[in-house]
Structures are given as C-alpha cells and as structure tokens.
Amino acid sequence: MTEPETMKTVLMKAIELLSEEGAWIKGAYGRTSEGKACGLDDINEAVCVCAVGAIYRVTDDFALATKTLQRVQQYMNFECTIPYYELISYNDAQDNVAPIIALLKVVGELE
C-alpha cells in the first residue's frame, strides 16, 4: 500500500524536481518545451518550473499543493527573515535555485 502524500513528501519531490539540470525557471509557473508559459491548471505540460510550479507539478492533489505553498509562505512571513511575502517573488529574485532548495528543505524538516 502506498503511503499518503504529506506536505513533507510534496516538498521533497519539489526539491528533487528543481535539482534537475535546467528544471528551474523564473518569470512563470512553468514553461513547455516550446517556451509557452504554463499556469497552474496546465503545469503538468511544463518541462521547467519555478518553486511554486514545482509544488503543484509533483502532486495531483491541488488542495495539498495549496496547503504546502501556504506553509512555505507562513514560514517566510513569520518564522525567518526572508524579506518576501510570496514564494513566487522570492523565486524570481534569485540568481540560481540554491536558495529556493534551501528554503524548501528547511520547511520540509519542520513537517
């Protein structure tokens, strides 16, 4: 029997996805192989994703993805000193994926 997904498993899968060469982007939730921007409703068509897109890409449970995103943003807003309110803004302000992965790891360890 398969273990139920949790926020921690979603975050770990998102980290794994973002760690792949060329998988991380900024400026859109995701992009197709043709370069077309994806929304969260068609994120499964994306070949590369931002941090938010990764959270939604790795699970079919939209409510769990939303809850996970909210938990990351709660951490950002109340439990650390990251000067951004939204993960999408923090993602787009970075020069590389390392700070994103570090943030997701910390939140995943709290769960």
* DSSP-based three-state secondary structure for 38: strand
pTM: 0.94
Task: Tell me the residue range of the domain where 55 lies.
Answer: 7-104
Is 109 part of a structural domain of the chain? no
- Fill in the DSSP letter of residue 4: P
Contact status, residue 76 vs residue 90, Cβ threshold 8 Å: yes
pLDDT tops 70 at residue 61: yes
Structure-derived torsion over alpha carbons of residues 7, 95, 27, 18, reported in degrees to the nearest 10:
-40
Is 1 part of a structural domain of the chain? no
pLDDT band at 103 (very low <50, low <70, confident <90, very high): very high
CB atoms near residue 80 (< 10 Å): 11
Is 111 part of a structural domain of the chain? no
Based on the structure, what is the number of domains in the chain?
1
Residue 3 token pair: 């273990």
Average of per-residue pLDDT across 49-62 = 97
